[in-house]
Structure 1
Amino acid sequence: MEQVAPEIQGAYAVSAEFYDVLHGAQYRRHALALSGPAAAARVGIVELGAGTGLVTGVLVDASSVPVHAVEPAAAMRTVLLSRLAAAGPEALGRVTVHTCRAQQLDLPARADLAVCFRVIAGLPPAERREVWRALADCLLPGGLLFVDRPPAALPAGPGRRRAGRARVGSDVYTAWLTERTESDRIRLDYLYLVHRRGREIRRARETFHQWPLTDEELARELGEAGFRPQDGRSPDVLRLRRLGRRW
């Protein structure tokens, strides 16, 4: 039976409402680059941290194989399942939604493509290393993994920036992100504001954490899990090949 820790089950309870509206454009940019690898998949696809399904939709449209979407946060999974239902019976028949953590996923060698965006940076080091191994176990030898690069260092000091803005009817939705160091991790405080005709009518907050990972540490962990970097990497997305055995 798939089980989810309570703290993960309740994650994104605030942010899920604003996610597609304010962060969708960045996700779609990453997703479109996966159309080619998804089309080449012949066995299956695993998406770790499927979120609201922005990337899932691209993977399904481009491929013809089973897709395993892993999303433990109930608020995000609600949007994901609604998106799959709207996509029609073909998507519903090909996507299996898993509510567990990645390291609890029981899919030995069921995929030749894995995708993991906006997950790795949010994991404490010990759990992160478990997830690398879980991803390797899901992939056949020679399979590909695409993952966004985690931050390499703690921020030099507190910083605040706008993280999205969109108009919805007569309302303007805005996200502000404040980053600061908190012990050995990065604290991310999101503030969501809704204005109508220049007047604030609503605000909401949610906090997340990230753990930095140097390039040297990243290379070592990937090697230990059985991955080798491939050419053609973009600055923010890593393309990794699953080796036939662990290094």
Structure 2
Amino acid sequence: MSLAESRAPVHAVEPTRAMRSPLMTGLASLPAALRRRVTVHPHTLQESGLHGVADVAICHNMVACLPPASRRSLWPALADAHVAGGVLLVQLPPARLPLHETTHDLPTQRVGQHEYGGRMVTSADENRIRTRFDYWVRGDHGVLREHHETFWMWSASRATVVAELAGSGFVPRSGPPDPTVLTVRLAATHRSRRSGL
């Protein structure tokens, strides 16, 4: 979307090999002119060396997966990567731990002779959220294969995230808050601590 909706260079930061593989596969299917504008960084933003390059940054489906200390260390790196006045969109983590186990069935899809489906189960586990995905493939005679994955998430209220971001120079946009996405702007007076600008 960032490539299609702009003419600017795009930096995709994906330190996880399992997530980077489908990203690279998707990028490989794009026209060469679009691919030339994207650089994939195979490590954390803190290790990327990006300074003053971002007008817009998007943290989609990942902030909740960072332990609190890692989440807090991300904000200064994002400030360093931004130009003053740049915008950051953050998909908010869950505000609190779930009160009870919740199951969500994923949509079932048929591909050829097989049916693909699964479910997501979330529950509290001490100070974390356990998110388990159960995937299955069915044929005419039942389940052919299954796969299970567990991800850990950490809750943080909107107020907590806003306060953490403020410490790195980000200010919330005015207007009614979106329940799932926080939009902030790097203050025009922000100066990069690394570059001294």
Larger displacement relative to structure 2 (208-217 or 160-169): 160-169
Query: Is residue 92–residue 158 contact of structure 2 (8 Å, CA) maintained in 1?
Result: no
TM-score (norm 1): 0.72
Is residue 232–residue 239 contact of structure 1 (8 Å, CA) maintained in 2? no
Deviation at 1:245, TM superposition (A): 4.1
Is the 2:16–2:43 contact (alpha carbons within 8 Å) kept by the matching residues of 1?
no
Letter of the 1:148 counterpart? Q
Alignment correspondent of 1:240: 184
Distance 1:86 1:195, change over 3 A: same
Q: Which amino acid aligns with 1:158?
A: E
Q: 1:170 matched to which residue of 2?
A: 113
Contact 1:105 1:134 in 2 (8 A): no
Residue in 2 that maps onto 1:204: 147
Spell out the pairing of 1:39-50 with structure 2 (5 A cutoff).
none
2: CA distance between counterparts of 1:117 and 1:157?
Answer: 25
Alignment partner of 1:61: what SS?
coil
Shift of 1:197: 3.1
Q: 1:147 aligns with which of 73, 76, 90?
A: 90
Gap regions ≥5 residues in structure 2: 191-197
Secondary structure of the 1:60 match is coil
The within-5 A match list for 1:121-160 is 121-160=64-103
Answer yes or no: is the 8 Å Cα contact 1:164–1:175 preserved in 2.
Answer: yes
Higher helix share goes to which structure?
A: 1
Q: d(CA) in 1 for partners of 2:176 and 2:115?
A: 38
State the shift of 1:80 in Å: 1.4
**Deviation of 1:175 (Å):** 2.1
Q: Which has the higher strand share?
A: 2
Gaps of 5+ in 1: 1-57
Please tell me the residue identity of whatever aligns with 2:171: R
Secondary structure class of the residue paired with 2:36? helix
**Is the aligned partner of 1:226 residue 2:166?**
no
Check whether the contact 2:109–2:116 (CA below 8 A) recurs between aligned residues.
yes
2:193 corresponding residue in structure 1: none
2-structure distance, mates of 1:208, 1:93: 33
Deviation at 1:187, TM superposition (A): 0.6
Task: Please say which structure displays the higher CA radius of gyration.
Answer: 2
How many pairs were matched up?
189
CA–CA distance in structure 1, aligned partners of residues 176 and 5 of structure 2: 20
User: Over the residues paired in the alignment, what is the CA RMSD in angstroms?
Assistant: 1.5
The match for 2:6 among 52, 63, 67 is 63
Asked if structure 1 preserves the Cα contact closer than 8 Å seen for 2:45 and 2:77, the reply is yes
Q: Deviations over 1:87-112 (max 9, x none)?
A: 12112211000000122221111110
Change in 2 beyond 3 A, CA 1:144/1:198: farther
Cα-to-partner distance string for 1:60-88 (whole Å, 9 max, x where unaligned): 01110100011112122222112212112
Matched residues, percent identical? Answer: 37
Secondary structure of the 2:75 match is helix
Conservation of the 8 A alpha-carbon contact between 1:179 and 1:187: yes
